[in-house]
Amino acid sequence: MEQQASDEALLEEAGAIIRGGGLVAFPTETVYGLGGDAMNPSASQKIYAAKGRPSDNPLIVHIWDFSQLEEIAATLPPQTKALADAFWPGPMTLIVPKNEKIPYETTGGLDTVAVRMPSHPVARDFIRISGRMIAAPSANTSGRPSPTNADHVWQDLQGKIEGIIDGGSVDIGLESTIVDLSEGIPTILRPGYITKAMLEEVVGDVRIDPGILSENEKVRPKAPGMRYKHYAPKGDLTIINGSADAVVSYINQATADAMASGKQVGIIATEETRDLYRAGEILTIGSREDEDAIARNLYGILRRFDELGVELIFSESFSTPRIGQAIMNRLFKAAGHHMIDV
Ligand code: AMP
Ligand code: MG
């Protein structure tokens, strides 16, 4: 299938669907996107409908050339060029004031627009060949884990969209870092592979939206999408935090108790701990030494637990250098902020 995805004829066909107002899912380096023509209000409305997504939750506009950003931004905030030079194409989304070319349907009614230039070669070819800018949120049903392969997209959106470009499994596995440039100091609205430290090396001071750090529900995240329950598996997920020994023995005990009362239990284990668990559906997310693997495998594992029908899930907690912060952000949301310290 990967062969097919780079096939020019296939991308021509996908581009024609976009120009005709239809929807095509496509691979990017972060997760699969559900694409439509960013300038076509009815395409954006179709995206919301296919995902079951609230229409006040704006879409990210995907471009393949910097000039496209200039075409839709009302002004370019001072840090734009430096950040684009440093991290585009790549897993960073910039929020800038929009001009009248981008319809409010695409920006969820906001006067700013989120823009990203993906690095995935299929995504880039697809956008270029379509001749359009492509509005795309993650290609999952709203509330489910984001899709990291074409099969996940198929499970959620079959019959609701015109096509899927299969590019195999994605590389990063977590959504882009969103950086808001519309209000002075660059502010991270969603953590991702590009970290605060990486951004600061380029533009100096960078803030993190207090709404995504606070456990207090009154402090609302600025990105509408970060306010909704998200990344949720069907089973009830709890993160267990502490020393490896304490975590393993807590999870073993809790699993035994739950299974004794007839519950199906899933465990998110690591290479280092997998052999220490005694019962339940044990899925290994990767080595603790390899943050990239943990990021890449997280959503697939949450989906796998849905298929297995587990009712309770226990996950180990992960350290937060680099992309670890994004991993824990997604895991916290999947767990509805339920963490037990042992
Ligand atoms: P998704 O593409 O599904 O990962 O979702 C896009 C994310 O970007 C959501 O969390 C949106 O709320 C956020 N977003 C998109 N445009 C804007 C904007 N103009 N201002 C703030 N957040 C935005
Ligand atoms: Mg999403």
Cβ-based neighbours of 105, under 8 Å, separated by 6 or more: 41, 42, 44, 45, 55
Q: β-strand 60-62 against 33-37: which pairing, if any?
A: unpaired
Q: Quick count: other Cβ atoms within 10 Å of Cβ 257?
A: 12
Cβ-based neighbours of 136, under 8 Å, separated by 6 or more: 26, 28, 33, 34, 35, 36, 47, 59, 60, 62
2-227 homologous superfamily = DHBP synthase (3.90.870.10)
Alpha-carbon span 60 to 30, nearest angstrom: 13
3-state helix, strand, coil in the chain (%, to 5): 35, 20, 45
pLDDT category of residue 1 using cuts at 50, 70 and 90: very low
DSSP 275: G
Q: For residue 103, how far is its CA from the centre of ligand 2 (angstroms)?
A: 20
Which of 50-54, 102-106, 336-340 is predicted most confidently? 102-106
pLDDT for 39 equals 98
Cβ of 95 closer than 6 Å to ligand 1, yes or no, is: yes
Nearest ligand to residue 57 Cα: 1
Q: Quick count: other Cβ atoms within 10 Å of Cβ 306?
A: 17
pLDDT category of residue 191 using cuts at 50, 70 and 90: very high
User: What fold is seen in the domain 236-341?
Assistant: Rossmann fold (3.40.50)
Query: Could you write out the DSSP letters of every residue in 160-176?
Result: TSSEE----S-SS-SPP
Cβ of 97 closer than 6 Å to ligand 1, yes or no, is: no
Where in the chain is CATH 3.40.50.11030?
236-341
If you take atom 13 of ligand 1, which residue's CA is the nearest one?
223
Give me the percent of the chain exceeding a pLDDT of 90: 85
Q: For residue 140, how far is its CA from the centre of ligand 2 (angstroms)?
A: 7
Measured from the Cα of 112, ligand 1's closest atom is 19
For residue range 55-110, what is the model confidence (pLDDT) as tens digits?
Answer: 889 999 999 999 999 999 999 999 999 999 999 999 999 999 999 999 999 999 99
pLDDT category of residue 3 using cuts at 50, 70 and 90: very low
Q: Quick count: other Cβ atoms within 10 Å of Cβ 187?
A: 18
Higher per-residue confidence, 315 vs 227: 315
Where in the chain is CATH 3.90.870.10?
2-227
First-to-last CA distance in the chain? 45
pTM of the predicted structure, to 2 decimals: 0.94
Cβ of 224 closer than 6 Å to ligand 1, yes or no, is: yes
pLDDT averaged over every residue in the chain:
94
**Choice from 23, 95, 99, 170 to test ligand 1 binding pocket (greatest atom count within 8 A of CB):** 95
Measured from the Cα of 137, ligand 1's closest atom is 2
For residue range 217-251, what is the model confidence (pLDDT) as tens digits?
Answer: 678 889 888 876 667 788 999 999 999 999 999 99
Alpha-carbon span 4 to 182, nearest angstrom: 39
Q: For residue 324, how far is its CA from the centre of ligand 1 (angstroms)?
A: 21
pLDDT for 322 equals 84
328: phi then psi, degrees, rounded to nearest 5: -70, -35
Q: For residue 114, how far is its CA from the centre of ligand 1 (angstroms)?
A: 7
For residue range 198-214, what is the model confidence (pLDDT) as tens digits?
Answer: 999 999 999 999 988 76
